Amino acid sequence: MPTIYEGFVASNALSHVQVQLEKTWTTRAIEVNGELIGFTGFGHQIV
């Protein structure tokens, strides 16, 4: 059964594909004490 957060947060695989297709998006790795703990992408879609 999916967690409540899976309905709101895209998978990392989907996010990686999206930022490759949407050239206006920026990606960042999230690190704590040198350990990779997450990934984010932000930007806007040109219509």
Q: Which residue has the higher pLDDT, 6 or 16?
A: 16
Instruction: Compute the distance between CA of residue 37 and CA of residue 28 in angstroms, rounded to an integer.
Output: 11
pLDDT in tens, 8-32: 666 777 777 877 888 888 888 899 9
pTM score of the predicted model: 0.50
Instruction: Compute the distance between CA of residue 15 and CA of residue 10 in angstroms, rounded to an integer.
Output: 6
C-alpha separations of 44 from 4, 9, 13, 34, 41 in Å = 25, 17, 19, 29, 10
